[in-house]
Amino acid sequence: MQLYNKLSAKERAELIDKAGKNRLTLSFYKYAKIGNPQIFRDHLFVTWDALDVLGRIYVAHEGINGQLSLPADRFKEFKKHLDSIVFLKGIRLNIAREQDNKSFLKLKIKVRNKIVADGLNDDTFDVTNKGIHVDAKKFNELIEDEKTVLVDMRNHYESEIGHFKNAVTPDVDTFRESLDIIEEDLKDHKEDKNLVMYCTGGIRCEKASAYFKHKGFKNVYQLEGGIIEYARQVNEKKLDNKFLGQNFVFDDRRAERISEDVIAYCHQCGKPFDVHTNCANEACHLLFIQCDECKEEMNNCCSTTCKEIHALPYEEQKALRKGQGNSNDIFKKGRADHLPYKKDLRNIFDVLKNKQL
């Protein structure tokens, strides 16, 4: 029985074009205790492959995290299957604000140690003992309260292109880094301040809310459904939009525009711009912000060196990469000394100091 993807991205793209069907991009997550993640993973793959689901799904003992797409006309079948699983019955599905039939081109369901890497080894920490979920209306009210500290639980390259007004945006590479920074800088205000958090779809700030409750914080809130659900509610209920710019997403679209504000800059020339790209040099693949003019001048590369390598015949490029490996060192997100206009996000300590906590 086939339990893994066999088609290349190119082959899948051709099949999508041939099918001529509109697809839905959506995401969901659920923290739950899964006894045997491998068996659960295989069950999902068999069922979802038959429904033409594509995407990136992680399963662990602590739950499931999924970003995926499927034919719109098979959504009811997909939802019926989710509802047949006890802990997923009635789960909220975050439907993408901007649809793209090719947002995903493979079905990848992987078993991991955790659905959100946190670097924590604390058996007494209960991830299901979460903070208070708030909708867009209540969130808007909370962040106007002078007792509230609003924290972006995403990484630097995500918040760089879009974040909530007056949010603290830690300049971090990983979720784990944020946990220690926030705890340290708010250690004297565990009872007198509202700690309000948000992220893309809710999965990171839900874990963070449980962690900070575990650490003794009394007033912990999270934006339910994250930025994706916030944007939907703002649009449907005609609420004030407090989000500036774009919401970074983890598929081939890379971002969804929430407001017309452009708060980021091209990392090469400094022009206001907020669209990420990957360096065309396969040995680099750096994710960075590059405006259309620099893209044309640099041939979609992040540096002159990469541009020269990318111009070589493909076989020569392969020879240069041979033996180098594809370590995490070459897949960095927007950090490189040769990007003169990489925006340094505000440090949480400076923001909190300015708020006179």
Distance of alpha carbon 194 from the chain centroid:
24
Question: Can you tell me the distance from the alpha carbon of 283 to that of 255, in angstroms, rounded to the nearest whole number?
Answer: 24
Question: Can you tell me the distance from the alpha carbon of 187 to that of 203, in angstroms, rounded to the nearest whole number?
Answer: 24
Question: Can you tell me the distance from the alpha carbon of 79 to that of 87, in angstroms, rounded to the nearest whole number?
Answer: 13
Q: Assess whether 301 carries a catalytic annotation.
A: no
- One-letter amino acid of 73: D
Q: What angle do CA 342, 346, 351 make, to 5 degrees?
A: 170
Question: Can you tell me the distance from the alpha carbon of 295 to that of 271, in angstroms, rounded to the nearest whole number?
Answer: 12
Residue 188 — φ and ψ, nearest 5°? Answer: -90, 5
Question: Can you tell me the distance from the alpha carbon of 168 to that of 152, in angstroms, rounded to the nearest whole number?
Answer: 6
Interhelix angle 37-50/75-83, rounded to 10 degrees, is 160
List 199, 266, 284, 302, catalytic entry:
199
Across 185-195, b (16+ Cβ under 10 Å) vs e yields bbeebbeebbb
Question: Can you tell me the distance from the alpha carbon of 125 to that of 120, in angstroms, rounded to the nearest whole number?
Answer: 9
Question: Can you tell me the distance from the alpha carbon of 221 to that of 312, in angstroms, rounded to the nearest whole number?
Answer: 52
Question: Can you tell me the distance from the alpha carbon of 285 to that of 309, in angstroms, rounded to the nearest whole number?
Answer: 12
Residue 28 — φ and ψ, nearest 5°? Answer: -160, 165
Confirm if 105 and 13 have CB atoms less than 8 A apart. yes
Name the residues annotated as catalytic.
199
